[in-house]
């Protein structure tokens, strides 16, 4: 019996170290699981990109027991790896942005191969780049690096640097850090999408404000004649939220109606800003110089003087003598006006015969032109967004199609404008609008005696 007890005690004593090792291994697994749960909580705690990177990498540095950690993200525009966040001793430095080509350095190799990597001693590693150490003064001895991967797309590389307490990074560390990095990648992608969404919302708000301001430069109501001698209507539809097309009406004290239609080169914010100032300048200039050709010449001088490379405008400016029906006009690089005669089944495109777009060269000459309207005649002005609109077969609406559309009897300028806009919409079907579209119609009627 004593012999039996001694044997059992000896067996128990021999198994204690194994139990102890198993307990340590279990505790390590619990700690690892706990750390991953904490990371998951952090990942879901914020959608701010900088906060996500800082919080997660701070946790990675603590769990991996390293002196420093970093994240390098691939710039989608340049294709370069850029150092976005650095913590630990590196993080205390005043840092410049560090860029690496994919394939350059340890991080570049990991980004290129998509494989994690342990580098026990960077002095023995030819792939190691000293650029970050030279920029920060930090001394890198050992690196554990893992790719940041979303599905099959690598978006960057995460690193922990220099293990503490004289330890070395192990394969278990590599597995743990790779798991960390998968969560980091997901967090970065979510934060990036959130940031992009916020930026788009901000841009949409700014564009909406710009559109409202731009619309304020357009006539909010159309001029009316107490004797019913003319009617006008107009519509302008930008290709984006804001555009470069515009129209305006001016009433002068000598019973004269001014009508201007313009098309600024380009689209979007630059064209809208150019247009807004141009409309203000035109209103002032048209009051000082009543002749249409002279007005365009003076406007051209203004635009050339403060010209911006690539920016110009086509203009068509007409003045109607409300009492007589005489129209004087001049054109600067714009499409011809269409004259619909009441007693004819056909109309004509009428050009002033001269004048380049405004804002290009100071030597431009503008040719004056005049015509006599009969009661019931229409004048229709438009921009190239009408005739150059394309359908799904990439066919253009064309001047000829517009001519055929306009050659009929109209009850009012409003009917004409709405009909043209709808015809273009039907023609283009589901094709996205490529250019700003503007239509302006003027009808001169039989003078009425009071």
How does residue 37 score in pLDDT terms, banded at 50, 70 and 90? low
Q: Which residue has the higher pLDDT, 307 or 142?
A: 142
The confidence score (pLDDT) of residue 85 equals 43
- pTM: predicted TM-score of the whole model, two decimal places: 0.62
pLDDT tens track for 174-205: 888 888 888 888 888 888 888 788 888 877 77
How far apart, in whole angstroms, are the C-alpha atoms of residue 434 and residue 170? Answer: 58
For 303-341, the pLDDT digits (tens) are 998 876 678 999 999 999 999 999 999 999 999 999 999
Residue 387: pLDDT band with limits 50, 70, 90: very high
Per-residue 3-state assignment (H helix, E strand, C coil) for the chain: CHHHHHHHHHHHHHHHHHHHHHHHHHHHHHHHHHHHHHHHHHHCCCCCHHHHHHHHHHHHHHHCCEEEEEEEEECCCCCEEEEEEECHHHHCCCCCCCEEECCCHHHHHHHHHCCCEEECCHHHCCCCCCHHHHHHCCCCCCEEEEEEEECCEEEEEEEEEEECCCCCCCHHHHHHHHHHHHHHHHHHHHHHHHHHHHHHHHHHHHHHHHHHHHHHHCCCCCCCCCCCCEEEEEEEECCCCCCCEEEEEEEECCCEEEEEEEEECCCHHHHHHHHHHHHHHHHHHHHHCCCHHHHHHHHHHHHHHCCCCCCCEEEEEEEEECCCCEEEEEEEECCCEEEECCCCCCEEEECCCCCCCECCCCCCCCCCEEEECCCCEEEEEECHHHHCCECCCCCECCHHHHHHHHCCCCCCHHHHHHHHHHHHHHHHCCCCCCCCEEEEEEEECCCCCC
Task: Locate the domains of the chain by residue range.
Answer: 32-195, 210-444
Decide if 108 contacts 100 (C-beta within 8 A): yes
pLDDT digit string (tens) for 244-292?
A: 889 999 999 889 999 999 998 877 777 777 888 888 899 999 999 989 9
- Residue 95 has a pLDDT of 44
Sheet holding 313-321, edge to edge: 245-252, 256-264, 313-321, 326-332, 369-372
pLDDT band at residue 111 under the 50/70/90 scheme? very high
Instruction: Of 93-97, 113-117, 188-192, 426-430, give the lowest mean pLDDT range.
Output: 93-97
Instruction: Fold for 32-195, please state it.
Output: Beta-Lactamase (3.30.450)
Say how far apart CA 165 and CA 403 lie, in whole Å: 86
Q: What average pLDDT does this structure show over 18-41?
A: 61
CATH topology for 210-444? Phosphatase 2c; domain 1 (3.60.40)
- For the segment 246-255, what is each residue's pLDDT rounded down to a tens digit? 999 999 988 9
64-109 pLDDT per residue, tens? 888 888 888 898 889 999 875 444 544 444 445 778 899 999 999 9
* pLDDT reported for residue 424: 96
Q: Would you state the pLDDT for residue 208?
A: 74
Looking at residue 427, its pLDDT comes to 95
């Amino acid at each position: 019996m004593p012999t039996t007890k001694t044997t059992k005690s000896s067996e128990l004593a021999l198994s204690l170290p194994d139990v102890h090792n198993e307990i340590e291994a279990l505790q390590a697994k619990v700690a690892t699981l706990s750390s991953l749960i904490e990371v998951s909580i952090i990942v879901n705690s914020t959608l701010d990109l900088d906060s996500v990177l800082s919080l997660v990498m701070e946790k990675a540095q603590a769990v991996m027991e390293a002196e420093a950690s970093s994240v390098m993200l691939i710039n989608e525009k340049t294709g370069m790896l850029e150092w976005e966040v650095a913590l630990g001793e590196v993080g205390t430095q005043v840092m410049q942005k560090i860029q690496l080509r994919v394939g350059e350095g340890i991080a570049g190799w990991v980004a290129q191969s998509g494989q994690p990597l342990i580098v026990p001693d960077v002095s023995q590693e030819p792939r190691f780049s000293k650029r970050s150490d030279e920029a920060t003064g930090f001394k890198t001895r050992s690196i554990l690096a893992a790719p940041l991967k979303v599905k099959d797309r690598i978006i960057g590389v995460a690193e922990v640097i220099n293990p503490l307490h004289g330890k070395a990074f192990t394969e278990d560390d590599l597995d743990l850090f790779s798991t960390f990095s998968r969560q980091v990648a997901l967090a970065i992608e979510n934060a990036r999408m959130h940031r992009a969404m916020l930026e788009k919302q901000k841009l949409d708000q700014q564009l909406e404000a710009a559109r409202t301001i731009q619309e304020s430069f357009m006539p909010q109501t159309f001029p009316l004649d107490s004797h019913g001698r003319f009617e006008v209507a107009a519509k302008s539809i930008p290709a984006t939220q804001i555009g470069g097309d515009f129209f305006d009406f001016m009433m002068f004290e000598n019973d004269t109606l001014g009508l201007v239609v313009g098309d600024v080169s380009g689209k979007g914010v630059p064209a809208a800003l150019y247009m807004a100032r141009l409309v203000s300048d035109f209103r002032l200039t048209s009051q000082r110089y009543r002749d249409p050709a002279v007005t365009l010449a003076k406007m051209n001088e203004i635009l050339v003087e403060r010209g911006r490379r690539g920016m110009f405008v086509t203009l068509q400016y007409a003045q109607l003598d409300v009492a007589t029906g005489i129209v004087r006009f001049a054109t600067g690089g714009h499409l011809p006006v269409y004259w619909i005669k009441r007693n004819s089944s056909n109309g004509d495109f009428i050009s002033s015969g001269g004048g380049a777009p405004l804002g290009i060269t100071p030597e431009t000459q503008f040719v004056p032109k005049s015509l006599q309207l009969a009661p019931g005649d229409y004048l229709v002005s438009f921009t190239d967004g009408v005739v150059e609109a394309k359908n799904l077969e990439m066919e253009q609406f064309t001047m000829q199609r517009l001519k055929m559309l306009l050659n009929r009897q109209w009850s009012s300028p409003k009917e004409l404008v709405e009909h043209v806009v709808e015809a273009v919409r039907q023609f283009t079907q589901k094709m996205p609008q490529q250019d700003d579209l503007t239509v302006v119609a003027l009808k001169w009627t039989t003078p009425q005696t009071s």
